[in-house]
Amino acid sequence: MQLTFLGTSAGRPTRTRNVTSIALSLPEPQCGFWLFDAGEGTQHRMLGSRFKLNKLERIFMTHLHGDHLYGLPGLLSSRSYFEGAAKLDIFGPPGLKRYLDTVFELTGVHLGYELNVVEIAEGIVLEDERHIVEAAELQHRLPCFGYRITERPQHGPLNLKRLAELGVPAGPLYGKLKRGEDVTLECGRTVAAADVVGKPQPGRVVTILGDTRPCDNAVRLARGADLLVHEATFAVGLEEKAAAYGHSTFGQAAETARAAGAKRLVVTHFSSRYDDEAVAELANGVKPIFPDIEPAVEMADIVIPRPPLTNS
C-alpha cells in the first residue's frame, strides 16, 4: 500500500503544484489503484507515471468544490480509450450523479464501460474481501466527507520448509492451507493449516480527509490510523481565516492527529501563498504538537508498511 499525491494545492494550481488528487496503490493480488478526488489536470499528472486508467478500480470524492472535482469528467471520458477498462465505482456526496449526467449529456460523452455512481451518507460505504471503507461528514462550506480505509487482516505466510518436510505438493493444497483449511494428502495424512501457516498479518488503516475545520468526525475517522492525510491550508495564527473558509491550519491538523492517536500525519492542500520552503517550515513548526508530520510532495510515493506482528 502506498499513497501518491497527484496534487497538493488549495483552490488553484501553481507553477509547482496541481490541485487535489491522491492515488492509493493496492498490494497484490489487486495491483490496481483507487483515486481520492480529481481536481483539474489529474489525468495529466498520470501521464508518464505508473498509473493507467484501466487499472483504476474506484474513485472516492470528498466534495464538489472545483479544485477537487473539475478533472473528473475528462478523466472518466479518457478511460474509455484504455483497453480492458472494466466497471468503475465512484463514491461521493449527493449531487455527484447529477453533475456527471449533466456534463456527459451536454458534451455528448458515451463511456465505453459501466459507471456506477454511489451518493453516500455517513457510515460504511464499501465492504469487500480486503477492505472496509467508512465515511463521515466533516465541517466545510459544502457537504464534505472523510474516508477511513481499513484493510482486513491477511492470511499468514506459508512455512515452505515445513510443507516440504510433510510432503505437501505445491499447488491447490497450498491455497487451501493458506485459507485456513486442513488438507488430506494422497497417503492419507492430514495436514493442519495451523501447523504450516504463520500468524495473520494485521491490516493497515489509512484516513483521507476532505476539506474541513477541526471537528469530532475528523478525530473519529483517524482514530489509531497508520496514516492520516489532513488538509493544512493556512499557517498557525490564521485560525479565524481558516474557520471562515472551512479549512484548518497546520497546527490544527497536528492537533487532530494527536487527539486521534494516529501514527503518522501527512498534510496537504496548501494555500498558494506558501512555497515549498515555507510549507516545510510550517510543518516543522508544529512538530512539538505531533512529531511524525510531513508535508505531501507532488508525485512522491508514501509507503504504508504493515503493522508489526504481535506476540499475542
Q: Is 211 annotated as a binding residue?
A: yes
Write the burial class of residue 108 (CB in 10 Å: 0-12 exposed, 13-18 middle, 19+ buried). exposed
Is 292 a known active-site residue?
A: no
8, 231 in Cβ contact below 8 A? no
17, 298 in Cβ contact below 8 A? yes
**Residue among 112, 146, 151, 102 nearest 1 (CA):** 151
Q: Is 67 annotated as a binding residue?
A: yes
Question: What distance in Å separates the CA atoms of residue 124 and residue 283, rounded to the nearest whole number?
Answer: 32
Q: Is 140 annotated as a binding residue?
A: yes
Q: Which helix (H) or strand (E) holds 162?
A: helix 160-166
Between the CA of residue 172 and those of 150, 165, 189, 302, what are the distances in Å? 29, 18, 16, 35
Catalytically annotated residue among 67, 195, 275, 276? 67
Compute the C-alpha angle 58/61/66, nearest 5°.
Answer: 135
Q: Residue positions in the annotated binding site for Zn(2+)?
A: 63, 65, 67-68, 140, 211, 269
For the annotated binding site, the residues are 63, 65, 67-68, 140, 211, 269
Which residues are designated catalytic? 67
